[in-house]
Amino acid sequence: MKKNNSKAGGSSMQTLKKVMSVIGHYRILLILSIVLAGLSVVLQLYIPVVFGNAIDGIIAAGKVDFELVSTHLFKALILAASAAAAIWVMNMINNRLAYNTVRDIRSRAIRNIQALPLSYLDAHSSGDIVQRVIADTDQLSDGLLLGFTQLFSGVITIFVTIGFMFSRSVWITLTVIVLTPVSFLVARFIASRTFKMFQKQTQIRGKQTALINEMVGNEKIVKAFGYESRASERFHVLNEDLRKSSEMAVFFSSITNPSTRAVNNVIYALVALLGAWFIMAGNLTVGGLSALLAYANQYMKPFNDISSVVTELQNAMACAARVFELIEQEPETPEADRVMERADGKVDIQNVYFSYDKSKKLIEDFSLHAEPGMRIAIVGPTGSGKTTLINLLMRFYDTDSGTISIDDERIDEVTRHSLRSNFGMVLQETWLKNATVRENIAIGKPDATDEEIIAAAKEAHSWEFIRRMPDRLDTIVTDDSMSQGQKQLLCITRVMLCLPPMLILDEATSSIDTRTEIQIQNAFDKLMKGRTSFIVAHRLSTIRNADVILVLKDGKVIEQGNHEELLKKNGFYSELYNSQWKNSAA
């Protein structure tokens, strides 16, 4: 996995501190886990010594010291039982620690996501943020918490093993310590060879995946052009390449284990040989040899564990840094605590300046006054700032300077919720929850009855297709169960249901065919009566009836007035309007 760890490098101590602060009241558990890890390692390593001692009591026929054997075996039983208990409790603690930390971090993350300014969310892909909340958090808990205890017990294992071995035989232990690096060298040698093969495999696999995505992803077009056999040919060539490189990569990566095991076996044989010599010289017992052989067998394991844990830890640090970057992101400016009542819909925008990127000017010195019930249409080319205006009205973004007031109340002096509940919004980009049709429509009015919902759906012309869905209002909405136009109709239904005092329609009918659009338009007309409405549209026919049309260009209002006035002006609007008319009549 590639992770962005450029930031994690320098500040990993800081990150670790932050992780510790999250663990907070689980700190006692963490300490307990470490203590138990140490305890269980010592106990587990001591047991071979005890068995060795017992074996020393079994010398030959008629020369068995049963009392000695029994004492040691009883000791072993106690030790094994205590070790098992320690492992068990440690496992439970680790579980609790890991899962609860993850839960806490995720719950902090989601809270911050809902409090973050949209500028942050707009600037980061949702995939990236999901990755942080889900995968990175998992990695953090696995790597950081469990890795930490593993690292700890690995280090203890090595020292205790060496200690026990020394207590049996100094020379044999030294031999083992000297020979150990050979096994590392072998592993390193193979790993460096394997890396190149894996790179090549990854590269070819990437190409193949791209081809699969293209061809299978567009299989209908492949079929429409009878391209099937040509696609297969291209695939087969890549598939053969992949087979060759995979074979090598899989093979070479799988010889690491046998090779280090072989080195280990040689060490084992040496221990047996030296042990035999020492026993004959009277410096070692048979039980001692049996313990040494048992250690020699497991001696490599903690080394391998530690090296894999270290990479895991680095990875986890990088993930932790990414998670904290999200959690610690500055939330939106704090709220005023005044609540805006249901507004009449008088809107005043005064000398507003705003831009997303402070180096590029967008909206400059923008002013507008709208009486309750007025219909304001906003037209202009792409990038002229139409949607930005809506972002400001809803306070998704705050103005750089200047004020926006509704019913003479500045919108930054009331709570965001009370402001937003005064608006009904339909956007070009339709968003539906993965829930039932009913839940999706009733999002603004959760206590609506089915009758109300159906009435709203009829009004918005969505009932025709809802009626035909398998479970009607109870049908679960999935991404591809509806056409774009149908999704947009559902979003309109939402607003039809909750009837807020002001409306924002941002390209609300862009995916709906013209005939249905006209029918909805009638419903909209009814809805807009007495409601201050802001309408953004490409199709000029939909805005002809507006009281005020704002023509935006490069963030500035270049023309303002109603349809007839603007046409008479013979300016940008009339050009825009006439070009469309001319074209569609062609």
Judged by CB under 8 A, the chain residues 42 through 71 that form the site for other proteins are: 44, 47, 51, 54-55, 57-64, 66, 69-70
CB nearer to other proteins: pick between 10 and 446: 446
**CB-nearer residue toward other proteins: 297 or 562:** 297
- Indicate which single residue of 373, 402, 485, 571 sits in contact with other proteins (rule: CB under 8 A): 485
Question: Which residue in 2, 225, 357, 382 binds other proteins (CB under 8 A)?
Answer: 225
Residue 8, token pair as written in the block = 């994690």
CA nearest neighbour of 440 among 394, 476, 470: 476
Sole binder of other proteins in the list 17, 223, 342, 529 (CB under 8 A):
223
C-alpha–C-alpha distance, residues 538 and 543, integer Å: 9
Over the window 378 to 417, marking each residue x when it contacts other proteins by CB under 8 A and - when it does not, the resulting string is ----------------x-x-------------------xx
Q: Other CB atoms closer than 10 Å to residue 184's CB: what's the count?
A: 15
Tell me phi and psi for residue 352, to 5 degrees.
-85, 135
Candidate residues 420, 538, 553, 569; the one interacting with other proteins per rule CB under 8 A: 420
Residue with Cβ nearer other proteins (2 or 225):
225
| Position 584 contacts other proteins (CB under 8 A) | yes
Rule CB under 8 A: say whether 100 interacts with other proteins: yes
Of the candidates 420, 441, 443, the one whose C-alpha atom is nearest the C-alpha of residue 501 is 420
Decide whether 185 or 210 has the Cβ nearer to other proteins: 210
Closest approach of other proteins to the CB of residue 583, in Å = 3
Helix axes 256-280, 300-327, angle to 10 degrees: 140
Contact 218, 210 (CB under 8 A): no
Q: Which stretch binds other proteins (CB under 8 A): 153-161, 263-271, 368-376, 527-535?
A: 263-271
Region binding other proteins by CB under 8 A among candidate stretches 3-11, 28-36, 258-266, 449-457 = 258-266
Contacts (Cβ under 8 Å, ≥6 apart) of 107: none
Letter string b/e over residues 193-226, b meaning 16 or more CB atoms within 10 A of that residue's CB: ebeebbebbeebbeebeebeeebeeeeeebeeee
Q: Is residue 351 a contact point for other proteins (CB under 8 A)?
A: no
Mutual orientation of helices 27-56 and 66-115 as an angle, nearest 10°? 160
> Which amino acid belongs to residue 581?
W
Burial 374-410 (b: 16+ CB within 10 A, else e): bbbbbbbeeebbbbbbbbbbbbbbebeebebbbbebe
Contact status: 25 vs other proteins (CB under 8 A): no
Q: Which range of residues in 29-37, 143-151, 335-343, 479-487 is near other proteins by CB under 8 A? A: 479-487
| Helix count and strand count (H, E) for the chain | 22, 10
Of residues 213, 308, 351, 367, which one binds other proteins by CB under 8 A? 213
Q: Are 138 and 102 in contact (CB under 8 A)?
A: yes
Binding residue (CB under 8 A) for other proteins from 227, 361, 452, 458: 227
269 makes contact with other proteins (CB under 8 A): yes
Tell me which residues in 78-97 interact with other proteins (CB under 8 A).
80-81, 83-85, 87-88, 91-92, 95-96
Residue 492 in tokens: 């309109």
Q: Least distance in Å: CB of 87 to other proteins?
A: 4
The residues in 105-164 that bind other proteins, with binding defined as CB under 8 A, are 106-107, 110-111, 113-115, 118, 121, 126, 129-130, 133-134
What residues from 437 to 476 belong to the interface with other proteins (CB under 8 A)? 443-444, 465, 468-470
Report how far residue 225's alpha carbon sits from residue 23's, in angstroms, rounded to the nearest whole number: 59
Of 402 and 485, which CB lies nearer to other proteins in the complex structure? 485
Give the Cα separation of 506 and 483 in Å (integer). Answer: 19
